[in-house]
């Protein structure tokens, strides 16, 4: 039994981190270097990381405003290897339910913690490996796939450690499911292990962790879920010439042409308006039949109808 005081599923709302137990540090040094664009971001995440779900609004805004200046590489962190934890008041899946409901309120993102009561996950490794398998096929589709996995987990209370649920998400992301399964059973496991090894080398302690690097080996790190300015400032510090692309929102539905699903918090952060304003706009579109809506006990998600 691991008696370390850090529990990976007890995410700290103040630091915005889902922290891993302290492991053996690596003495190796790794250089992160941008290749195709002025800045490279290595983002350590995990499909079941509630704090990572919490920074979706900030990441989506960063991509809309500065995507031409950075490339982002998604690395999987393996937040929950198994249930050999007994710390921080969490020793079994049911202990996570209330914590996730609290995280939902803190981040104002839809999360239903009852998945840990109804169909709890035994590990985040299957979804991490599935993500690496998806990346082999297409980095673009892999991003869509991870979003769908998270929506299934946080809103639909689906256990995304089960292959059936992974396959269902893959189908919605237009991935080749047969190939995904083949890679999942093969190369994806090696690629996931490479992510874990690099995380140890880089000293990753929790998620989200974003490493920003330019072509001159200058590097900045943003730990945890932070306000948008932290991510923007890191990018601008490395590439001061970056010009913000202002998203013009003449048509309230235009954001949905870029992002098929949006939570009110995402809409609010992207447009620099309040949560209540965003919710009013989205609800009006829902009432007019222009948007669909998934409502759970903690917040909602809107989609093109």
Q: What confidence score (pLDDT) does residue 20 get? A: 64
Each residue's pLDDT tens digit, 64-97: 999 999 999 999 999 999 887 655 556 788 889 9
Same domain, 104 and 205: yes
Same domain, 108 and 204: yes
Same domain, 116 and 200: yes
Q: What confidence score (pLDDT) does residue 85 get? A: 60
| Long-range contacts, 184-192 (Cβ 8 Å, 24+) | 184/129, 184/130, 184/133, 187/132, 187/133, 187/136, 188/129, 188/130, 188/132, 188/133, 188/136, 189/129, 189/132, 191/132, 191/135, 191/136, 192/76, 192/78, 192/125, 192/128, 192/129, 192/132
Residue 13 structure tokens: 């709302």
Q: Which of 182, 209, 236 is the last residue of a domain?
A: 209
Q: 36 lies in a domain?
A: yes
Same domain, 198 and 278: no
> Is the peptide bond between 84 and the residue preceding it cis, with omega within 30 degrees of 0?
no
Region 1-16 average pLDDT = 58
Each residue's pLDDT tens digit, 261-297: 999 999 999 999 999 999 999 999 999 999 999 999 9
| DSSP-derived pairing of the beta strands 70-76 and 39-45 | parallel
| pLDDT-derived band at 42, boundaries 50, 70, 90 | very high
- Alpha-carbon distances of 212 from 33, 80, 232, 292, rounded to whole Å: 9, 25, 11, 36
Domain with residue 283: its CATH number is: 1.10.10.10
Q: 10 lies in a domain?
A: no
- 258 neighbors 245 (Cβ within 8 angstroms): no
Separation of alpha carbons 193 and 164, rounded Å: 23
Each residue's pLDDT tens digit, 226-241: 999 999 999 999 999 9
Average pLDDT in the chain: 91
Same domain, 200 and 289: no
Q: Which domain holds residue 290?
A: 254-303
Statement: residue 7 has pLDDT above 80 = no
Q: 205 lies in a domain?
A: yes
Same domain, 203 and 285: no
Number of domains in the chain: 2
Global pTM reads 0.91
Region 176-190 average pLDDT = 98
| pLDDT-derived band at 22, boundaries 50, 70, 90 | very low
């Amino acid at each position: 039994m691991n008696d370390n005081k850090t529990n990976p599923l007890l995410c700290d709302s103040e630091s915005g981190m889902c922290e891993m137990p302290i492991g053996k540090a690596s003495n190796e040094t790794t250089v992160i270097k941008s290749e195709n664009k002025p800045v490279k971001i290595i983002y350590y995440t995990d499909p079941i990381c509630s704090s990572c779900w919490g920074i979706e609004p900030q990441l989506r805004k960063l991509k809309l405003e500065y995507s031409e200046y950075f490339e982002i590489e998604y690395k999987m962190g393996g937040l929950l290897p198994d249930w050999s934890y007994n710390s921080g008041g969490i020793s079994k899946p049911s202990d996570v339910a209330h914590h996730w409901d609290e995280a939902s309120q803190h981040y104002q993102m839809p999360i239903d913690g009852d998945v840990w009561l109804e169909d709890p996950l035994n590990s985040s490794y299957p979804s991490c490996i599935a993500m690496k398998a998806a990346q082999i096929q297409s980095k673009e589709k892999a991003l869509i796939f991870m979003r769908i996995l998270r929506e299934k987990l946080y809103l639909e209370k689906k256990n995304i450690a089960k292959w059936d649920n992974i396959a269902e998400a893959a189908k919605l992301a237009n991935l080749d499911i047969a190939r995904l399964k083949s890679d999942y059973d093969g190369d994806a496991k090696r690629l996931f292990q490479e992510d874990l090894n690099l995380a140890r080398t880089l000293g990753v302690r929790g998620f989200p962790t974003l490493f920003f690097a330019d072509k001159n080996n200058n590097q900045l790190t943003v730990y945890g879920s932070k306000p948008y300015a932290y991510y923007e400032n890191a990018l601008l510090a490395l590439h001061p010439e970056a010009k913000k692309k202002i998203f013009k929102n003449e048509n309230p539905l235009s954001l949905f042409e870029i992002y098929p699903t949006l939570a009110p918090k995402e809409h609010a952060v992207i447009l620099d308006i309040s949560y209540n304003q965003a919710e009013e706009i989205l609800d009006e579109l829902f009432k007019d039949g222009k948007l669909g809506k998934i409502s759970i006990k903690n917040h909602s998600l809107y989609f093109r109808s």
